[in-house]
Amino acid sequence: MKSHPQIIDRILDGVRRSRSICVVGHVRPDGDCIGCQLGLTLALRDQGKNVRCWNADEVPRKLAFLDPDKLLRRPERGHRFDCVIALDSASLERLGKTADCIGHPKLFVNIDHHPSNTRFAGLNWVSAREPSTGELVFRLLKSAGWPITAAIADCLFTAISTDTGSFQYPSTRPSTYSIAAELVKRGANLARICDEVYQSYPLSRARLLKHVFNHFRLTHHNQIGYFWLGPADYQRTGANDSDSEGLIDHIRAIEPVVVACLFEALDGDCVRISLRSKSDHVNVSEIAAQFGGGGHHAAAGARLTGTRLSVQRRVLNTIKRALNPSR
């Protein structure tokens, strides 16, 4: 646990000198973001800090069990903080409306594992070799010598498990398993986490998945799988956008598919794309970067404007070039 000792010491020194702290995360939070935000918030509260936990979006239903006391709230204007800690957020823009509410803290800390991180804060601990931000928060708590309670262990185990595909992604390292084992020793409830996160989906998500299987398309010799979701699809199935988390992995899992793509129609002519790769030779973060986005080698995203047809054509052509770079 000796990695990055200088930046960890600087972060902890600033945190110890701060009384009011705000822990923030990215819009449309996933398990890594929510687990880190809540785990760090609980740890800071145990240290007697005045802590707020903010996100522009609500906790996804499948992660609500991590927040029985409703600690995570929507951001509010008019607050001043000694310290703001951004978790799992590659850029200031990823904080959404929260970025407009944090003001000008004495210390702004950015803890993240995305290679595309823009180093937007005063203190930036960005370690792209880590498969999850949850591991970084664990290292922070261990270095500080703060207690890791069972509730904190639940949060951090969920963070690490979800961002490693339940320890299946190639980014998973030996140290990931060591940290997960220590969290189980500290009281992480494996049975409940697995049930809530992986085995208790609402019926609305099943309807949405049915829609995906009925409407996905394959192209480029079946190496690219893609599908569209829009407001009408959510309305028809009774789902919300948090129910779409992980749907793309079902298309990625089709044997000949190398890159999966979700096109999600937003307000106006804005389209959000999510990309997944299962090839060492196709870095979807580089594909997303061509459209102003970013992420990881195997998972990335971006936002584009244009008609559905033009956006689809641009993205699919870019993926095809990545699959056949010599052409």
The pLDDT tens digits for 107-147 are: 999 999 998 899 999 999 999 999 999 999 999 999 999 99
Q: What is the pLDDT of residue 241?
A: 84
> What is the CATH number assigned to the segment(s) 5-198?
3.90.1640.10
Question: What Å distances lie between residue 323 and 135, 302, 327, CA to CA?
Answer: 32, 19, 9
Q: Give the tens place of pLDDT for each residue, 43-84.
A: 999 999 999 999 999 999 999 999 999 999 999 999 999 999
pLDDT band at 2 (very low <50, low <70, confident <90, very high): very low
307 Cβ partners below 8 Å, 6+ apart? 269
Percentage with pLDDT > 70 across the chain: 98
Cα–Cα distances in angstroms (integers) from residue 252 to residues 28, 83, 218, in the given order = 21, 40, 11
Please give the pLDDT value at position 268: 84
Every domain of the chain with CATH number 3.10.310.30 lies at: 203-323
**What is the arrangement of strands in the sheet containing 259-265, beginning at the earlier edge strand?**
217-219, 224-229, 259-265, 270-277, 299-305, 294-295
- Identify the band that residue 4 occupies on the pLDDT scale cut at 50, 70 and 90: low
- Quick one: CA torsion of 140, 145, 147, 152, rounded to 10 degrees? 10
pLDDT above 90 for 5: no
What is the reported pLDDT for 327?
59
Which pair of tokens denotes residue 315?
A: 């993205």
Predicted local confidence at residue 170, as pLDDT: 85
Whether 44 contacts 15, CB under 8 Å: yes
Q: What is the rounded CA–CA span in Å between residue 306 and residue 315?
A: 12
Angle at which helices 150-163 and 190-198 cross, to 10°: 40
Longest dimension (CA), the chain: 60
Mean pLDDT of 255-271: 95
Q: Tokens 């049975």 appear where?
A: 191
Q: Which CATH class is domain 203-323?
A: alpha beta
Helices of type H across 100-252: 133-144, 150-163, 174-185, 190-198, 203-215, 231-237, 247-252
The answer to pTM > 0.75 is: yes
Nearest partner of 259 among 248, 245, 270, judged by Cα: 248
- Within the chain, all domains assigned CATH 3.90.1640.10 are found at 5-198
- Per-residue pLDDT tens over the stretch 201-243: 999 999 999 999 999 999 999 999 999 999 999 999 999 888 8
